[in-house]
Amino acid sequence: MIALPPFSFAFQPIYDMASGQIVSQEALVRGPAGESAYSVLSQLTAPGIYQFDERLRAAAIRLAAEIGGPEALHLNLNLMPRSLEVSPSALASTLETAQNCGLSPESITIEITESEIIHDIEGFVAVANEYRGTGIQYAIDDFGAGYAGLYLLAEFQPDALKLDRQLVAGIERDGPRQAIVRGVLRTCEDLGIDVIAEGVETEAEFSWFRSEGVDLFQGYLLARPGFEQLPGVAIPGTSARPTPVVAQLPMAA
């Protein structure tokens, strides 16, 4: 049994601008005083970090269910791809915890970090696909930040794709990035994959993606992790403001 560093969670919503609703909440690991995920995860090395990764998902589910209840609750949970190589129970334990807390598999989206190198993509895809029949959903996180993004997209075909902040930042004034993102949007449309503009911080970024038909957004412009709202910022194009559904509470180690 590995020793866990102290940690807590913040929850950041994903908005569907077509409906004006929060459609999911991403559980983000933080230190006990709100320190970054890096400050927590950097205290561990392999294989302990992958075992910790598994236990974090279970802890996030229990906390979210305790605070918000299972009704209409959808969670996005991060998974380090190598966790499936190190721990065969990485996904099984997540689903078991969800079931014990009254959450259906359909209410869980597993975010796969594209920026972590996957040494055996075929093996990863085979394991992940074993659980598709349960109703669990998958998203590729940080798309565009790693080296295997297009190959992973072709082989895996997730339910959703989250564009990396480096593609999103200042896109309204960057022609090459606009061309790249338009190509990704067209590909995802053809494959039936939802696209989430992640890390949106300005109204100009938001407006550009809306003009390209993107409905799903996550970022500081709408709500900070923990539902800490930016002063004076409403949801662009509406009179609504972010509404907390799950609050941030500290989680003991």
Q: Which CATH number does the domain housing residue 37 bear?
A: 3.20.20.450
Q: How many angstroms separate the CA atoms of 75 and 11, rounded?
A: 9
Q: Which of 64, 140, 141, 66 is nearest to 107 (CA)?
A: 64
Residues 36-47, mean pLDDT to the nearest whole number: 86
Domain hosting 158: range is 8-218
Is residue 153 a part of any domain in this protein? yes
The pLDDT of residue 195: 97
Q: How many angstroms separate the CA atoms of 151 and 153, rounded?
A: 5
Q: Above 60 in pLDDT, residue 227? A: no
Q: Above 70 in pLDDT, residue 4? A: yes
Q: Residue 128 CB: number of other CB atoms within 10 A?
A: 20
The pLDDT of residue 51: 86
Is residue 246 a part of any domain in this protein? no
Q: How many angstroms separate the CA atoms of 45 and 97, rounded?
A: 25
Is residue 115 a part of any domain in this protein? yes
Q: pLDDT per residue over 61-102, tens digit each?
A: 998 888 776 655 799 999 988 888 788 789 999 999 999 998
The pLDDT of residue 69: 66
Model pTM? 0.85
Is residue 230 a part of any domain in this protein? no
The pLDDT of residue 193: 96
The pLDDT of residue 236: 40
Q: What percent of the chain has pLDDT over 90?
A: 43
Which alpha helices (H) appear in the chain, and where do they start and end? Answer: 37-41, 48-68, 83-86, 90-100, 121-130, 149-156, 165-168, 175-191, 203-211
The pLDDT of residue 162: 95
Split into its structural domains, the chain has a count of 1
Is residue 93 a part of any domain in this protein? yes
Q: How many helices and strands in the chain, by DSSP H and E?
A: 9, 8
Is residue 23 a part of any domain in this protein? yes
Is residue 237 a part of any domain in this protein? no
Q: For residues 68 and 246, is the Cβ–Cβ distance under 8 A?
A: yes
Three-class secondary structure of residue 189 per DSSP: helix
Q: pLDDT per residue over 180-199, tens digit each?
A: 999 999 999 999 999 999 99
**Residue that wins the pLDDT comparison between 242 and 62:** 62
Rg (CA), the chain: 18
Helix axes 121-130 and 149-156, enclosed angle (nearest 10): 40
* Lowest-confidence segment of 174-183, 199-208, 216-225 by average pLDDT: 216-225
Q: Above 90 in pLDDT, residue 213? A: yes
Name the average pLDDT for the chain.
82
